[in-house]
């Protein structure tokens, strides 16, 4: 099999779109990333117009999702309009890049993405090793330790997808990605990541033993499960009945390191504007707790605060479009890998927020283009007569 290589230019473009939190602490680097993002957006827009890239349902849903809390952000007190605008430009640029490269050497593009994510995590690992407490205010390269979960799962999934496209089981890059991920998780001890890894393995094993597609094992189904778990954990707080398990396995108390207190404070604030929300607050912090402001520490509460029920519906709409796109490829290994990864995020959303960083959207865009991924795999694997066809 001919070896596939990544593109340094693509790696640079993707790196610019995934600004590490450490760069925010240095004005010059932050400015470089912002200017770079504008250049990448301009390039992506040029390619979109030149090659007449179509607006897919997911692309439209993402635009609607960003607009759903844009107006509120403009008029909100303590708003974060700059971050909202920057994230919107970066996300639109990535959507256009995915649409363009899905028709022009998509395999190389995904390999470039896998290499970029691995490079970021190698840098993060070096900082973890040399400065265990973080470089500035507990921030490593990616961000604070709980933010390591954002790129880790996406990195492993994209790397495994590239292996599958190239007709390999586990390549050297994937093995290294898994080893680096475990190193980061163990060194700073991220309980949420351990839960996510367990969920990903369980979902993958379940999918491997299913003979036909199940709604609950789709992105939309997992989203509904995530909402149900949020109801029981955040609103009913049933975790108090399992405090012995939480403290014994994850090393946390029944409040999940104060998260249940934050949820209790956040819910009445969100209820003040339930339909359209309050707009994006500075750094997403809006919950007064222990003499400072915090994020909601739950994906759904944060979405509800930013844009109310409308934004929550827009996010679910994205998941519905992705589910429709991936359903015909239920029996492929790519489906199992991507759904297992998203399954981990759907559970971790209970105590963390992922839409304020770009990594989860890289996963969503990759999932939506599973058709192109499967075609590449079939073309590479054709001579071995291991043809995986979509279900009619």
Report yes or no: 281 and 295 within 8 Å, Cβ to Cβ.
Answer: no
Report yes or no: 177 and 163 within 8 Å, Cβ to Cβ.
Answer: no
Report yes or no: 270 and 305 within 8 Å, Cβ to Cβ.
Answer: yes
Cα-flanking dihedrals φ and ψ of residue 20, to 5°? -70, 150
Total length of the chain: 392
- Examine residue 1 and state whether it is found in any structural domain, yes or no: no
- Examine residue 129 and state whether it is found in any structural domain, yes or no: yes
What are 198-207's pLDDT values in tens digits? Answer: 999 999 999 9
Can you count the helices (H) and strands (E) in the chain?
17, 2
What are 19-73's pLDDT values in tens digits? Answer: 999 998 888 999 999 999 999 999 999 999 998 888 899 999 999 999 999 999 9
- Examine residue 308 and state whether it is found in any structural domain, yes or no: yes
Query: What integer pLDDT is reported at residue 28 of this predicted model?
Result: 93
Interatomic CA distance for residues 322 and 223, integer angstroms: 11
Please state, rounded to an integer, the average pLDDT across all residues of the chain.
91
Q: How far is CA 252 from CA 124, 138, 183, 198, 347, in A?
A: 25, 19, 21, 17, 17
How many Cβ atoms are within 10 Å of 36's Cβ, its own excluded?
A: 17
Q: Domain of 40?
A: 8-384
- Examine residue 160 and state whether it is found in any structural domain, yes or no: yes
pLDDT of 250 above 80: no
Provide the CA 267 distance to its chain's centre, in angstroms: 24
**Helix, strand, or coil (residue 213):** coil
Provide the CA 340 distance to its chain's centre, in angstroms: 13
Interatomic CA distance for residues 323 and 319, integer angstroms: 6
Query: What integer pLDDT is reported at residue 197 of this predicted model?
Result: 95
DSSP label of 139: B
HSE (side-chain half, CA atoms, 13 Å) at 216 = 7
Strand partners, 294: 287
- Examine residue 2 and state whether it is found in any structural domain, yes or no: no
Strand partners, 292: 289
- Examine residue 321 and state whether it is found in any structural domain, yes or no: yes
What are 333-377's pLDDT values in tens digits? Answer: 999 999 999 999 999 999 999 999 999 999 999 999 999 999 999
Q: What pLDDT band is residue 383 in, cutting at 50, 70 and 90? A: low
**Where are any strands of DSSP class E within the chain?**
287-289, 292-294
pLDDT of 382 above 70: no
Interatomic CA distance for residues 177 and 3, integer angstroms: 19
**Helix, strand, or coil (residue 381):** helix
- Examine residue 181 and state whether it is found in any structural domain, yes or no: yes
- Examine residue 38 and state whether it is found in any structural domain, yes or no: yes
pLDDT of 390 above 90: no
Strand pairing class (292-294; 287-289):
antiparallel
CA torsion, points 243, 270, 350, 337, in degrees to nearest 10? 170
pLDDT of 385 above 60: no
Contacts of 305 (CB under 8 A, 6+ apart): 266, 269, 270, 277, 278, 281, 286, 296
Query: What integer pLDDT is reported at residue 392 of this predicted model?
Result: 47
Q: What pLDDT band is residue 145 in, cutting at 50, 70 and 90? A: very high
Average pLDDT rounded to a whole number, residues 285-297: 93
Interatomic CA distance for residues 361 and 338, integer angstroms: 12
What are 60-116's pLDDT values in tens digits? Answer: 999 999 999 999 998 877 788 999 999 999 999 999 999 999 999 999 999 999 999
Report yes or no: 79 and 321 within 8 Å, Cβ to Cβ.
Answer: no
Interatomic CA distance for residues 321 and 55, integer angstroms: 13
Give how many domains the chain has, as a whole number. Answer: 1
**Helix, strand, or coil (residue 374):** helix
**Helix, strand, or coil (residue 98):** helix
Instruction: Please give the structure tokens belonging to residue 299.
Output: 């994906």
């Amino acid at each position: 099999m001919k070896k596939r290589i990544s593109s340094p230019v693509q790696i640079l473009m993707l790196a610019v779109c995934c600004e590490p939190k450490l760069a925010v602490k240095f004005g010059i680097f932050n400015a470089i990333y912002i200017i770079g993002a504008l250049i990448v957006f301009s390039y992506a827009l040029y390619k979109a117009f030149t090659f007449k890239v179509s607006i897919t349902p997911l692309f439209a849903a993402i635009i609607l999702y960003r607009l759903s809390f844009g107006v509120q952000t403009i008029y909100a007190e303590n708003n974060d309009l700059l971050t909202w605008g920057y994230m919107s430009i970066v996300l639109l640029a990535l959507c256009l890049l995915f649409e363009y490269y899905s028709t022009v050497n998509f395999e190389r593009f995904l390999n470039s993405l896998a290499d970029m994510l691995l490079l970021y995590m190698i840098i993060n690992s070096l900082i973890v090793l040399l400065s265990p407490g973080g470089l500035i205010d507990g921030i490593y390269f990616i961000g604070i330790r709980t933010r390591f979960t954002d790129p880790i799962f996406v990195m492993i999934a994209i790397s495994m997808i590239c292996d599958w496209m190239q007709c390999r089981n586990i390549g050297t890059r994937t093995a290294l990605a898994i080893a680096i991920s475990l190193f980061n998780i163990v060194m700073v001890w991220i309980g949420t990541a351990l839960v996510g890894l367990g969920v990903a393995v369980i979902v993958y094993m379940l999918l491997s033993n299913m003979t036909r597609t199940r709604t609950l094992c789709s992105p939309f189904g997992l989203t509904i499960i995530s909402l149900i778990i949020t109801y029981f954990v955040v609103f009913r707080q049933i975790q108090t009945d399992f405090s012995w398990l939480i403290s014994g396995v994850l090393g946390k108390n029944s409040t999940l390191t104060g998260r249940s207190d934050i949820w209790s404070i956040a819910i009445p604030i969100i209820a003040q504007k339930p339909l359209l929300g309050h707009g994006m607050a500075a750094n997403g912090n809006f919950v007064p707790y222990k003499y400072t402001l915090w994020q909601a520490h739950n994906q759904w509460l944060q979405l509800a605060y930013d844009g109310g029920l409308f934004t929550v519906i827009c996010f679910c709409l994205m998941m519905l479009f992705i589910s429709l796109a991936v359903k015909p490829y239920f029996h492929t290994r790519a489906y199992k890998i991507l759904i297992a990864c998203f399954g981990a995020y759907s559970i971790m959303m209970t105590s963390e927020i992922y839409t304020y960083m770009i990594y989860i959207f890289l996963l969503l865009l990759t999932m939506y283009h599973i058709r192109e991924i499967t075609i590449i795999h079939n073309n590479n694997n054709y001579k071995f007569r291991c043809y995986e066809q979509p279900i009619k």
